[in-house]
Structure 1
Amino acid sequence: MRIMIRYTAFLLVAFLLETLTSEAQPKSSYTGTININPVRVLQAGKTLYVEMDIILDHVKVKSAGAVDIIPRLVSASDTLVLPKVSLKGRNEYLTYERVLSLMSLSERSVYSPSYQVVRNLKVENQTIEYRYTLPFEAWMAEAYLDVQKDECGCGEVAWMEVETIDTVKLDIIPFPYRIVPYLAYVQPVPEPVKNREKQVEAFLDFEVNQTYIQPEYMNNPLELAKIRAMIDELHVDHDITINRLDLIGYASPEGSLAGNKRLSEGRALALKNYLARRYSFAPSLYHIVFGGENWEGLRKALTDLDVVYKAEIELIIDNYDGQKRKERLMKLQGGEPYRYLLRNIYPGLRVAICKVEYHVKNFNVEEAKEIMKVRPQNLSLNEMYLVANTYSNGSREFINVFETAVKLFPEDDVAKLNAAIAALSRGDIEMAGQFLDQVKYRELPEYANAAGVLALLRGDYDVAERFLQAASDAGLEVAGKNLKELGKKKANDLEIKSRMINE
């Protein structure tokens, strides 16, 4: 019995040794040959393109076998494994499908991060086109592509040593050159005295032929409140000195000119008396002005209305004056249009304007910086410019100052030009173009430089060169730097175009 046990043990050891020896011999999971034909690996902008053809020459994967083709980007500092192409035999592919069927979509992407899984059953020629893109990173400029093959012919989950199949160098296309514009702002002329004016229109209601203001009559509470709000804002500001208050009365153009003058002046005087009871201004600050019959207001009101005989009314207003104009309006189409005007338009022409003239004290830079936060309207353009230069050029605070300035001084060419330059500094080409189009005086070299930068960013190189050369000839140093940027951009465009054609 003991001998039998020893013999059986000997046979078992011999069997194991034979099995291990057999398994130690390398076995392939497939027949045929696999070749890689590199198409291209290139960088264009922020994207890297990896393209190759995997050529299967009479490849037949064994039923329980699998072959993975694994591309990698390799550099001295980093390695990135790209999605693989997996060739699977019949049983291996069925197992793969069963496992996938039990997973959620998110689990599948983790389990099988493959570019393509191929069920290889027949011996035939086949080409798998591998086309993959990924974000370009700086280290990839020194990388190369190698393609590896992993296979296991034993039917167990174990991988053989990786075998390098081919190596392809990167073909790098340059990044599009990013223009760095050089900008120059214009310093506004200082104001020794900052004279300002502000006005508000009030449509006050009076009883027929009366010149006395009844504060609670009809719409008067709201209209009087508009006037008081404007004056209060100025009156309580200790940086402001009020120099003059003009009370201008306009009349609707019916009746005699003398009668209209008497009524409008009387109503303006009534407004002056109303204000004098509420404020302590010196009487000498008030000035009563007759604005005349409000034909301009009538012409403006007609443009926004769709009324009968509108064109005929406008012709009369535009081609006749004085009493003759009134008479023709009254006779037009039997008086029907005139009666419409009396009822619907003329009451709104009896307007009173309160205009306040004042001056604002001047501020040093530190004072102006604080005023900018709370009452920027009290600053001059030059004071705003000095505030802007306390911040880093191109910073958000720096740009905000120039964008605020153009809102407060919308008709000023320097404000519009600096706002355009600020828009360029933050890459807003559309806004920069809008502001530059509004600038009337275009002889400043800073304007030519800004127009040149705008054309450069738009890709209009001929226009850019013309403007920038003019600014450089006028002595503006930054224009010369922008001409160099133009040269770099043109050279970069040519290089990219040449490389793309060659590809």
Structure 2
Amino acid sequence: MKANNISKILFFGLSFLLAEQPTKAQPILDGRVTVSNLAVSRADEKLFVAMDIDVSALDLKTNLEMLLTPTLTQGDAIVTLPPVLIAGRNRYYHHLRNGLTPDDATLYREGCIGVIEYRAVIPYETWMNTATLSARSQVRGCCGAPLSDADERLTALGFEPEKRYFVPVPVYVRPEAEAKILTVEGSANIDFPVNRTEIYDTYRNNPVELRKILATIDAVKADADTKIIGVTIKGYASPEGTYANNERLAKGRTQTLREYVQRQYDFPESLLTTDYEPEDWAGLERFVETSGLADRTAILAVIRSDLAPDAKEWRIKKNYPEAYAYLLANVYPGLRHSDYAVKYEVRAYTDVAEIRRLLKTQPQKLSLQEMYMAAQEMEPGSDEYAETFEIAVRMFPDDPTANLNAATTAMMRGDLKRAERYLSKAGDRAEALYARGVLAALSERYDAAAAIFEEARGRGIAEAEEALRQVGELANEPK
């Protein structure tokens, strides 16, 4: 872990390239030897050659032998693969008695072997991508003197040059620990007698509406992990009637509702706060704006004008009587409402197992720092690891750290579009700059990535040094 609370993990390795050039059976040495099941493949830095060599028709005399040497050539470059030696009876025992074979060849006795399963592994070099594989055969006499030589083409290799990729070190930012203050909100339409401020808890729909407020408070109180630190009530009246009277009603009804809640819970006086809005013109505007009223545009102009509230209401009532009657009967009752908010603090969690459980059930109770702590106990790159950072950014959609870490995880999984979206909200800290360089490099915009990494290095991101080296090499590779 670095001093600035940055953690690192390596990206998963890239899969190796595999290619093959299978060929049909082909005769060599005037048809006395047949090569079949030929395949050449490349993985990492090795080249694999496999073939079946049928020597059953070779028919060598007892003092003769045949040396078969596969070779790879490309221009002046040549590599000799391990040879095989098929010997007649006398030559075979000669080699056994002397304990050696020419050219370190694998020795076989003619007539006792039908098909040789040839396998060879050699170091891979780039020029081999388009090399030619041949079989050089030499028949030798009793003293090892060559009697005949042949060099016959088996196949031409056709490997594509191996594409190299940018492999960055992802940088995560550890979120700062902070208090978890949450708020749950709601709205209730309490019915009051006309022009009065008293609450009757059995009046009209009041049992249901009052229960909404109490149920919200109860849900928070019942959770052992939470502590209520504030309850706010704001009352609204509708524009009907005079502004002065509506102010009296909004203020008085809000105070009455506060006293009702206080009686239910005996909260400290400082815990309950109130506010009021004499007339809910904003709520009326929202309704009219999305309505199908015939005079919608004209009514909106009145609502948005600089007229005094009483003058606005009078003008709508006088100039648009049908619309006003509709609003009075269907919209104004909903504008007489009480909005409430319960603010509470959630305790800190240190048990990773508990945090992982809450990630699945109640992620809203976790801080970014707690989610990050749980992720450190997960397998980097796993589905659970990625989902943890996705949950974090869903819970804190505008937090730069949450967006930066989610972007880094998305790039690990190859989702560059998602990463780009998160990076747009990741802020301008040095780690975010580095992440934007990673996105550019993974998108193969190497010149742009180099410029970004250069700046990130200057701002103290050590990982930018290796990133610069890689993009410099990739930018100079042939297209």
TM-score, normalized by the shorter chain, greater than 0.5: yes
Q: Does 1:477 align with 2:436?
A: no
Residue 267 of structure 2 corresponds to residue 301 of structure 1: no
Aligned to 1:376: 363
Whether 1:178 and 2:152 are equivalent positions in the alignment is no
Q: Determine which structure has the larger helix proportion and give its number.
A: 1
From 186, 192, 199, the equivalent of 2:185 is: 199
RMSD: 3.9
Aligned equivalents of 1:281 and 1:471: distance in 2?
53
CA distance in 2, matches of 1:216, 1:262: 23
Q: 1:183 to 1:370 in 2, by over 3 A?
A: closer
Is contact 2:430–2:456 with CA below 8 Å preserved after alignment?
A: yes
1:79-108 alpha-carbon deviations (Å, 9 max, x no partner): 489xxxxxxxxxxxxxxxxxxxxxxxxxxx
Provide the residue aligned with 1:416 in structure 2. 403
Residue 415 of structure 2 corresponds to residue 428 of structure 1: yes
The sequence identity of aligned pairs, in percent, is 33
1:133 maps to none
Q: Deviations over 1:178-227 (max 9, x none)?
A: 33232222233332x44333322223444544545555666555544543
User: How far apart, CA to CA, are the structure 1 residues paired with 2:366 and 2:350?
Assistant: 10
Whether the 8 Å contact between 1:183 and 1:421 is mirrored in structure 2 is yes
Match of 1:253 in 2: 239
For the 8 Å contact 1:329–1:338, the answer to whether it is kept is yes
- The letter for the 2-side match of 1:314 is L
Q: Report if aligned partners of 2:133, 2:157 keep a CA contact under 8 Å in 1.
A: no
Structure 1 residues 242, 423: CA separation in 2 closer, same or farther (over 3 Å shift)? same
Distance change >3 Å, CA 220–CA 52, structure 1 → 2: farther
What pairs with 1:358-397 in structure 2 (closer than 5 Å)?
358-364=344-350, 366=352, 369=355, 372-373=358-359, 374-397=361-384
Q: Give the secondary-structure state (helix, strand or coil) at the position aligned to 1:196.
A: strand
Report deviation, 1:289. 1.9
String of CA shifts for 1:303-332, please: whole Å, max 9, x gaps: 332322222222222232433333333333
Residue 166 of structure 1 deviates from its aligned partner by 4.5
Query: Could you tell me which amino acid in structure 2 is paired with residue 470 of structure 1?
Result: E
Amino acid in structure 2 at the alignment position of 1:238:
A
Give the SS at the match of 1:248: strand
Tell me the SS of whatever aligns to 2:172: coil
Please report how far the alpha carbon of residue 449 of structure 1 lies from its aligned counterpart in structure 2 after TM superposition.
Answer: 1.2
1:352 Cα offset (Å)? 1.1
Give per-residue Cα distances to partners, 1:444-494, cap 9 Å, x unaligned: 011111112222222333332232222111111122232233234434xx4
User: 5+ unaligned residues in a row in structure 2: which ranges?
Assistant: 1-15, 25-34, 42-46, 53-120, 135-150
Give the Cα–Cα distance (whole angstroms) in 2 for the partners of residues 258 and 279 of structure 1: 32
- Give, in whole Å, the separation in 2 of the partners of 1:453 and 1:230: 46
User: Partner of 2:265: helix, strand, or coil?
Assistant: coil
Q: How many residues in Structure 1 have an aligned counterpart in Structure 2?
A: 362
Structure 2 Cα separation of the partners of residues 221 and 80 of structure 1: 88
- For 2:176, what is the secondary structure of its paired residue? coil
Note the 1:233-244 alignment, pairs <5 A: 233-244=219-230
Given candidates 425, 431, 456, the residue that maps to 1:446 is: 431
Distance 1:325 1:395, change over 3 A: same
Q: Distance in 2 between matches of 1:307 and 1:409?
A: 39
* Worse-matched range after superposition: 265-274 or 458-467: 265-274
SS at match of 1:482: helix
| Whole-angstrom CA distance in 2 between matches of 1:218 and 1:456 | 66
Note the C-alpha offset of 1:175. 3.2
Q: Distance in 1 between matches of 2:153 and 2:261?
A: 93
Contact 2:220 2:226 in 1 (8 A): yes
Q: Classify 1:300/1:348 alpha carbon distance in 2 versus 1 (closer, same or farther; 3 Å).
A: same
1:326 matched residue in structure 2:
313
Alpha-carbon distance in 2 for matches of 1:367, 1:51: 54
Of 444, 453, 468 in structure 2, the residue corresponding to residue 459 of structure 1 is: 444
Map 1:11-410; keep pairs closer than 5 Å: 48=19, 72-74=38-40, 79=50, 166-191=153-178, 193-213=179-199, 220=206, 223-276=209-262, 278-323=264-309, 324-332=311-319, 334-364=320-350, 366=352, 369=355, 372-373=358-359, 374-410=361-397
In the aligned structure 1, how far is the partner of 2:254 from the partner of 2:397? 30
Distance in 2 between residues matched to 1:316 and 1:416, nearest whole Å? 43
- 8 Å Cα contact 2:23-2:37 kept in structure 1: no
Compute the TM-score of the two structures, normalised by the length of structure 1: 0.61
- In 2, are the aligned partners of 1:252 and 1:294 still within 8 Å (CA)? yes
Specify whether residues 343 and 396 from structure 1 end up closer, same or farther in structure 2 by C-alpha distance, changes over 3 A only: same
Equivalent-residue separation in structure 1 for 2:249 and 2:373 (angstroms): 49
Deviates more, 1:205-214 or 1:394-403: 205-214
TM-score computed with the length of structure 2 as normaliser = 0.64
SS across alignment from 2:449: helix
Call closer, same or farther: CA 1:145–1:233 in 2, change over 3 Å: farther
1:220 and 1:371 map into 2 onto residues whose CA distance is 38
Please state how far the C-alpha of 1:384 moved relative to its aligned partner: 3.0
What residue is the counterpart of 1:103 in the other structure?
none
Report the CA distance shift for 1:264/1:470 in structure 2 as closer, same or farther (over 3 A). Answer: same
CA contact (8 A) 2:185 2:339 kept: yes
Contact 1:446 1:476 in 2 (8 A): yes
Q: Distance in 2 between matches of 1:463 and 1:299?
A: 48
Distance 1:360 1:51, change over 3 A: closer
**What is the CA-CA distance between 1:165 and the residue it aligns to?**
8.0
The SS at the match of 2:171 is coil
Q: 1:229 to 1:425 in 2, by over 3 A?
A: farther
Partner residue, 2:63: none
For the 8 Å contact 1:73–1:146, the answer to whether it is kept is no
Structure 1 spans left out of the alignment, 5+ residues: 1-44, 54-68, 82-137, 148-163, 498-503
SS of aligned partner of 2:304: helix
Q: Which amino acid aligns with 1:235?
A: K
Paired residue secondary structure (1:182): coil
Distance 1:49 1:335, change over 3 A: farther
- Sort the Cα spacing of 1:49 and 1:300 in 2 relative to 1 into closer, same or farther, 3 A: farther
SS in structure 2 of the partner of residue 356 of structure 1: strand
Contact 1:73 1:145 in 2 (8 A): no
